[in-house]
Amino acid sequence: MQSTEDSSQPFVFQLDDAKRPMITGFKEGAATLRVGEKARLFIPYYIGFGETKYGPFPAKSDLVFEVEILEIAK
């Protein structure tokens, strides 16, 4: 399991960053959240990494993210 809670730095991301693309399921879930909201995002493999092994994730891995939106930049 990976977590940013062990670090003093939050995970910073852009939903439409071509250089660091996000998986579809994470983008869809995060886009619905507002500042201060927390959510557990369950991402089925077909809108996650798909049928391909990616890093430590085996092929067809379902994913779970616990997300808290701290800030949204303009």
CATH code at position 4: 3.10.50.40
Res. 22: pLDDT tops 80: yes
* Parent domain of 24: 1-74
| pLDDT (mean) for 27-49 | 95
Predicted local distance difference test score (pLDDT) of residue 1: 59
Q: Where are the alpha helices (DSSP H) in 1-74?
A: 24-30
CA distances, 34 to each of 38, 54, 69, 72 (Å): 9, 29, 6, 8
At 2 the pLDDT is: 61
Domain count, the chain: 1
Looking from the CA of 28 toward its CB, the CA atoms found within 13 Å total: 9
What pTM was estimated for this model as a whole?
0.79
pLDDT computed for residue 42 by the predictor: 97
Instruction: Give the residue, 44 or 12, on which the prediction is more confident.
Output: 44
**C-alpha distance across the termini of the chain, in Å:** 31
> Does 3 have pLDDT greater than 70?
no
